[in-house]
Chain A
Amino acid sequence: GAVVSQHPSRVICKSGTSVKIECRSLDFQATTMFWYRQFPKQSLMLMATSNEGSKATYEQGVEKDKFLINHASLTLSTLTVTSAHPEDSSFYICSVQVNTEAFFGQGTRLTVV
């Protein structure tokens, strides 16, 4: 299956700073990637759909100005959490669709202190 690499796997940042998370599709050109968020003991929630060369589509309740998504190439999508606050602490996961299957990155654990 497709290999999806996320970086970093874990990050701690100070409140008010910005954090960038990268999602790379290593062996597949992905025109669409998905970003999910998972709070402790909860399920994955779709945040946004990242479209190569165009604006991302955000789910209801997700602030597009806070969670900046850039999908500049077919193999890379980035999620930037701007002006992070402790309530943004979560597990962020990206996904790439290949044919009828979804492949996920290993996730990024963000802790805002």
Chain B
Amino acid sequence: DAKTTQPPSMDCAEGRAANLPCNHSTISGNEYVYWYRQIHSQGPQYIIHGLKNNETNEMASLIITEDRKSSTLILPHATLRDTAVYYCIVRVGGYSGAGSYQLTFGKGTKLSVIP
């Protein structure tokens, strides 16, 4: 899987949009961008994923640049419960055999939502 680069930490005021960047300049054409988050002492939680088009769900929006070398996760109205470590991961999408779904976690971005 391609490597990603994320800032180690970010602050965001409660109620404001949180924009978390991720660089993945070596991403391959068949690799998706996945975002997970981990609230303290819990297992990671899936947020969103995309290939090249922007994606939105009830949790967040994912903006992927046209060259796919970077992306931004947007939490539109951050709350205190969004304080967590956010992981950007790139991996091949779809099923390509047993073990192909393993995820390689980097250090992520620790997002602190401030009242």
Interface residues on A, range: 20 to 34
Any B CB within 8 A of the CB of A72: no
Contact B108 A105 (CB under 8 A): no
Contact A97 B101 (CB under 8 A): yes
Contact A106 B101 (CB under 8 A): no
Which residues between 91 and 105 of chain A lie within 8 Å of chain B, taking CB atoms?
91, 93, 95, 97, 99-105
Contact B46 A43 (CB under 8 A): no
User: How many contacting A-B pairs (Cβ < 8 A)?
Assistant: 59
**A49–B108 alpha-carbon span in the complex (Å):** 23
Instruction: Mark interface residues in B73-115 (1 if CB within 8 Å of A CB, else 0).
Output: 0000000000000010000011100110111111110000000
Contact B46 A1 (CB under 8 A): yes
Q: A: which residues have CB within 8 A of B? A: 1, 4, 6, 31-32, 34, 36, 43-46, 49, 51, 57, 91, 93, 95, 97, 99-107, 109
